[in-house]
Amino acid sequence: MSSGNVCVVEMDLLPAQPPEIIQRVKIIRYRIARRYGRVRTASSRAEMEAASQLLLFYAASLLLAIIAVVARYCRQEVAATTPL
């Protein structure tokens, strides 16, 4: 097992099992894993990527709004202190 990575090792408890039983066990494992959120499907990966991009978009929009408010405030201060 390397650091930072998860290593999954499957062991055959009973040798020479029929393929149908092995397949059924794999399907049951997959269903249990999916039920508890351990399986990442393509759509869930896309949603996760979209969520991070959406968060970045909101952060950039907030930063631009703050810059616009500060710039407006500075212009008003300069206009108020400039003699005519």
Q: Look at residue 39 and give its three-state secondary structure.
A: coil
User: Distance (Å, rounded) from C-alpha 68 to C-alpha 63?
Assistant: 9
Question: Is pLDDT above 70 for 73?
Answer: yes
Q: Are 1 and 7 in contact (CB under 8 A)?
A: yes
Asked if pLDDT for residue 11 goes beyond 60, the answer is: no
Write down the domain spans for the chain: 19-81
- How many Cα atoms are found within 13 Å in the side-chain-facing hemisphere of 79? 6
Chain segment 24-44, per-residue pLDDT in tens = 777 777 777 777 776 666 676
pLDDT of amino acid 34: 73
pTM of the complete model: 0.42
